[in-house]
Amino acid sequence: MEFTAKQIADFLQGEVEGNPDVKVNNFAKIEEGKPGTLAFLSNPKYTHYIYDTKADIVLVNADFKAGKEIKATLIRVANSYEALAKLLELVEKSKPTKVGIEPMSYIAPTAKMGKEVYVAGFAYVGENVVVGDNSKIFPHVFIGEDVVIGNNVTLYSGVKIYAGCKIGDNSIIHAGAVVGSDGFGFAPQADGSYHKIPQMGNVVIEKDVEIGANTVIDRAVMDSTIIKEGVKLDNLIQIAHNVEIGKHTVIASQSGVSGSTKIGENCVFGGQVGLAGHLKIGNEVKIGAQSGIGKSQKDGSEIIGTPAIPIRDWYKSSVIFARLPEMYREIAQLKKEINELKDENSK
């Protein structure tokens, strides 16, 4: 599909600067732009690429000021990154979608399937499952009994949804993710062995949630592990039993949340963040990558490190860390000089 700069600007409610009739049929990074492609400029670090890019159209923020002539046609918008996301979404929605039940899939007689549902071959849909309209179930997905799946849900290949879990409308779960596996609950015995504690709860995922590939969310011991509306979980994340994650919180790859920890709304966690159990993390908390969190955090906290400390203190400390070898040598030299003075005074 081809679109002119004017058509794109009209859709984005932006302003064309250059040739309104130039056409594009693909996207490109600004540093790798080619004729017939659309690029975008959001990060100021990439500004120098805009003067030489071969892309025919570049999305820029409305307040962008060029330092010299630009060959590409510009489309000025309020936020170029958000505008790009809208265009990508438009293209994605224009692609043909699969509908229907493929041979070699299994759907239990008691399952209820909505309208325009797609179930691929080798998928398994268990007893009393409810699948909403326009949902898509790809190959090798397992859906246990009594699972409820909302409308417009996408379950990619190899997703496993254990019995009794609930998936909200418009949610996306990527390949290999597991929802509802047993929580890590074992009671120590007098002989040193461990007795498994039955995990009787479920997982509730609210609407507009996206879960990355190979992420695991454990079912609750009792009640529910809850992932609230709009949460975005990256690949390779572990969410333990009875955890709650508040609305629109974002967690990056390889992070882990221990049992019964409650995370507030609009939080942002970097990669490889680890949270101990039974903590309460407030709203709008930001945690830097590879941080270890051992205590609860107030609303709006910005922390990093292991153990985590306020981010400004960590930056100051990192300057000192870098100087430790030099400081050690200085202390050793001072110690040597003091000992020499002591020897002279003792004579």
Q: What is the pLDDT of residues 247-297, one digit of tens each?
A: 999 999 999 999 999 999 999 999 999 999 999 999 999 999 999 999 999
What positions carry a catalytic annotation?
241
Terminal alpha carbon distance of the chain: 94
The predicted model gives 116-139 an average pLDDT of 98
pLDDT value of position 178: 98
Residues 6+ away with beta carbon under 8 Å from 125:
105, 106, 107, 108, 111, 113, 119, 131, 137, 143
List the beta bridge partners of residue 286.
Answer: 268, 302
Distance, in Å, from the CA atom of 305 to the CA atom of 315, rounded to the nearest integer, reads 10
The Cα 118–Cα 192 span in angstroms is 49
Is residue 255 a contact partner of residue 273, using CB atoms and an 8 Å limit? Answer: yes
> Per DSSP, what are the bridge partners of residue 210?
172, 232
Provide mean pLDDT across the span 45-57.
96
pLDDT at 160 over 80: yes
At residue 340, the pLDDT reads 86
Rounded to whole angstroms, the Cα distance separating 172 from 210 reads 5
Which residues is 26 bridged to in the sheet?
A: 37
- Distance separating alpha carbons of residues 104 and 84, to the nearest angstrom: 39
For residue 329, the model assigns a pLDDT of 93
Q: At what angle do helices 5-12 and 80-94 cross, to 10 degrees?
A: 110
Stretch 176-182: mean pLDDT, rounded?
98
What's the CATH fold of domain 3-94? 3.40.1390
Global pTM value: 0.87
What's the mean pLDDT in 43-63? 96
pLDDT at 346: 77
- What's residue 345's pLDDT? 82
pLDDT at 266: 98
77-82 average pLDDT score: 96
Residue 1 has pLDDT above 90, yes or no: no
- Considering the domain 100-309 in this protein, what is its CATH number? 2.160.10.10
Q: Which amino acid is present at 324? A: L
Kindly indicate the confidence band of residue 60, based on its pLDDT and cuts at 50, 70 and 90: very high
- Per residue, what are the HEC states of the chain? CCEEHHHHHHHHCCEEECCCCCEECEECCHHHCCCCEEEECCCHHHHHHHHCCCCCEEEEECCCCCCCCCCCEEEEECCHHHHHHHHHHHHHHHCCCCCEECCCCEECCCCEECCCCEECCCCEECCCCEECCCCEECCCCEECCCCEECCCCEECCCCEECCCCEECCCCEECCCCEEEECCCCEEECCCCCEEECCCCCEEEECCCCEECCCCEEECCCCCEEEECCCCEECCCCEECCCCEECCCCEECCCCEECCCCEECCCCEECCCCEECCCCEECCCCEECCCCEECCCECCCCEEECCCCEEHHHHHHHHHHHHHHHHHHHHHHHHHHHHHHHHHHHHC
pLDDT at residue 126 is higher than 80:
yes
Radius of gyration in angstroms for the set of CA atoms belonging to the chain, rounded to a whole number: 27
pLDDT digits (tens, 9 = 90+) for 15-27: 999 999 999 999 9
Which residues are 284's β-sheet partners? none
According to DSSP, the residues that pair with 40 across neighbouring strands are 59
Domain ranges of the chain: 3-94, 100-309, 320-347
> What's the mean pLDDT in 309-332?
91
Chain mean pLDDT for the chain:
96
What's residue 305's pLDDT?
95
Please report which confidence band the pLDDT of residue 94 belongs to, taking 50, 70 and 90 as the band edges: confident
Smallest CA-to-CA distance from 231 within 208, 254, 212 is with: 208
What are 220's two structure tokens?
Answer: 């609750």
Percent of the chain with pLDDT over 70: 100
What pLDDT was estimated at residue 97? 87
